[in-house]
Structure 1
Amino acid sequence: MTAETPADPELPRGVALAWGVAADPQRGPKREMSIERIVDAAVEIADAEGLAAVSMSRVAQSLGYTTMSLYRYVTAKDDLLVLMQERGTGLPPEPDPELDPADWRGRLRALGRAQLAIHREHPWLLDIPIQGTPVTPNNLAWMDAMLAALADAPLDEDERVAVILLVTGQLRWQSTIERSYEVAAGAAGIDPQAIDDGRSAILDAFVTSDDYPALRRAVDAGVFATGEDPFAFGLERVLDGVADYLAKRAAGGRPAPPPRDDDAPEVASDKRVREARKGVREAEKRLRDARKVERQAVREARARHRDR
Structure 2
Amino acid sequence: MAGQDHDGASRLVAMAWGLAAAPQRGPRRELNHERIVEAAIEIADAEGLAAVTMQRVARAFDFTTMALYRYVSSKDDLQRLMLDGIAAGETWAVDDEDWRAGLEQWTRIMVGCYRSHPWSLDIPLARETLLMPGQVRAVDAGMRAMRSLPATAGDKLGVLMLLAVNARGFASLGREMAREEADDVLATRHLLQEIVADGRFPDAQAVIESGAYFGNEGPDGRDADDAEDVTVALSLLMPGIERAFEGDRRAQERAAAPADPARDPEQALAAAEADLASVIALRKATQRRARDLEKREGRVRADRDRAKVRAKETAKEAAKAVAKKASHEE
What TM-score do you get using the length of structure 2 for normalisation? 0.64
Give the whole-Å Cα distance in 2 for the aligned partners of 1:179 and 1:77.
24
The CA deviation at 1:252 is: 6.3
1:173-214 deviations in whole A, cap 9, x for unaligned? 0011112133x21x54x6xxx84x444312222112432222
Give the whole-Å Cα distance in 2 for the aligned partners of 1:78 and 1:84.
10
The CA deviation at 1:153 is: 1.3
Q: Is the 8 A contact 1:47 1:122 kept in 2?
A: yes
The CA deviation at 1:71 is: 1.4
Residues 12-161 of structure 1 mapped to structure 2, 5 A cutoff: 12-31=10-29, 33-95=31-93, 99=95, 101-132=96-127, 134-161=130-157
The CA deviation at 1:135 is: 0.3
Change (3 A) 1:105 1:210: same
- Tell me which of 173, 186, 197 is aligned to 1:208: 197
Give the whole-Å Cα distance in 2 for the aligned partners of 1:23 and 1:251.
46
The CA deviation at 1:31 is: 4.8
The CA deviation at 1:19 is: 0.6
1:32-57 deviations in whole A, cap 9, x for unaligned? 64433322221122112222222211
Partner letter of residue 223 of structure 1? A
Change (3 A) 1:225 1:145: closer
Q: Is the 8 A contact 1:154 1:249 kept in 2?
A: no
Give the whole-Å Cα distance in 2 for the aligned partners of 1:180 and 1:220.
21
Q: Does 1:240 align with 2:239?
A: yes
The CA deviation at 1:251 is: 8.9
Give the whole-Å Cα distance in 2 for the aligned partners of 1:219 and 1:11.
52
For structure 2, which runs of at least 5 residues remain unmatched after alignment? 217-225, 253-330
Which stretch shows the higher mean deviation, 242-251 or 55-64? 242-251
Partner letter of residue 196 of structure 2? V
Change (3 A) 1:81 1:210: closer
Q: Is the 8 A contact 2:197 2:205 kept in 1?
A: yes
Change (3 A) 1:66 1:91: closer
The CA deviation at 1:250 is: 6.6
Q: Is the 8 A contact 1:92 1:141 kept in 2?
A: no
Give the whole-Å Cα distance in 1 for the aligned partners of 2:104 and 2:89.
16
Q: Is the 8 A contact 2:115 2:171 kept in 1?
A: yes
Q: Is the 8 A contact 1:13 1:79 kept in 2?
A: no
For structure 1, which runs of at least 5 residues remain unmatched after alignment? 1-6, 254-308
The CA deviation at 1:113 is: 1.4
Q: Is the 8 A contact 1:15 1:82 kept in 2?
A: no
Q: Is the 8 A contact 1:45 1:53 kept in 2?
A: yes
Q: Is the 8 A contact 1:146 1:164 kept in 2?
A: yes
Q: Is the 8 A contact 1:90 1:138 kept in 2?
A: yes
- Tell me which of 160, 172, 177 is aligned to 1:176: 172
The CA deviation at 1:142 is: 0.5
Give the whole-Å Cα distance in 2 for the aligned partners of 1:90 and 1:239.
26
Q: Does 1:218 align with 2:216?
A: no
Partner letter of residue 139 of structure 2? M
Change (3 A) 1:219 1:72: closer
Instruction: Provide the identity percentage.
Output: 33
The CA deviation at 1:132 is: 3.2
Partner letter of residue 48 of structure 2? G
Q: Is the 8 A contact 2:44 2:52 kept in 1?
A: yes
Partner letter of residue 160 of structure 1? K
SS of equivalent to 2:86 = helix
SS of equivalent to 1:249 = coil
RMSD: 2.8
Q: Is the 8 A contact 1:91 1:142 kept in 2?
A: no
What TM-score do you get using the length of structure 1 for normalisation? 0.68
Partner letter of residue 211 of structure 1? R
